Amino acid sequence: MSALDLDDFSDLIERPDGKVRRAAEERRTRLSVSSGALGRLDVLGEWLSAAQSAVPVAPVRRPRVVLFAGDHGVAEAGVSRRPAGGAAALVRAVLEGTAPVAVLARAQDVPVRVVDLSLDCDPAELPAEVTRHRVRRSSGRIDREDALTIEEAEAAVRAGMAVADEEADAGTDLVVLGDVSVGGTTAAGTLVAALCGVDASVVTGRGGEPVDDLTWMRKCAAIRDALRRARPVLGDQLALLAAVGGADLAATTGFLLQCAVRRTPVILDGVVSAACALVAQRAAFRAPDWWLAGHTSGEPAQAKALDRMALEPLLDQGVRLGEGLGALLALPLVRAAASLTGELPERAETAAG
């Protein structure tokens, strides 16, 4: 029996400071640019003020990309264009600086951290700082077996919590969250279908590298079969992550919850982070107030999860890749909101008064 109860997070998480947000809204009315002229940038700036408990809002100075990595046994069912066990190659591309998220992060001068929870490779093939939180080698094939044992699920959630604490202690003031996985969108679709009470076909998308119709049907069937394992444990988030999530998804869930505890705002990426956020919301209803939806990925499960959490994506650029790229694209928008909200002067008459 696990000693970890995710429902305990409900008592640990508070919403961003409402009084500070109202003060930020009031200050906005005095700025030189009229209210409403900046559109959603006004709302973003006020959200950041509340998250920081600061008026005026401070610049986002120390953002960081955090990518949770893992392989999923369900990829063996032919649900992806990528080969089963192929996530380690994607991680190497990130570490070597050739992956799209690494290129964009370098252009924005944002550090990237990769955390291996369940890659299907020898840990000696990767740097120790990447593999030190690994729980197991690949997660179980969820259409036939549980992804994890309860003990492994708890270890993964705690690993995610530890990473959140490490980032908060290091001074990270905004996290750009993503995943590096093969088969992860199938697990994510299963979680969303289970939590939203819909059929597999409603949440089955085409993935980061769009699949053909036959592969889509195999993916839909895998989610349908996995749902039979998910539905009996819907009342227990940890058991749900063990049954149909995987180590990387369990860690992402723990990370999101602990970031909310530590008052660290997070930009969500695609369907995987949205699915984990939905699990986390079931444990702590205030937690989504600390998250932004970076972009819409075109995955139906992501749209379903974000709608359930009332999170509106900041961007729609048709980016389907995953790996944190869409969330990182949204970072300049968030930084722009902070700069404009924090640095625009007040109107002369209000400043004089």
- Which residues are marked as active site? 323
- 73, 64 contact by CB (below 8 A): no
- In angstroms, rounded to a whole number, what is the distance separating the alpha carbons of residues 306 and 312? 7
Residue with tokens 């009996």: 232
Residue with tokens 């009470």: 197
Q: Is 246 exposed, middle or buried (0-12, 13-18, 19+ CB in 10 A)?
A: buried
- In angstroms, rounded to a whole number, what is the distance separating the alpha carbons of residues 182 and 81? 9
Q: Which residues contact 92 (CB under 8 A, 6 or more apart)?
A: 126
Q: H or E segment at 68?
A: strand 63-71
- In angstroms, rounded to a whole number, what is the distance separating the alpha carbons of residues 2 and 155? 10
Note the helical H segments in 64-149: 87-96, 100-108, 128-131
- The amino acid sitting at 238 is L
- In angstroms, rounded to a whole number, what is the distance separating the alpha carbons of residues 65 and 59? 17
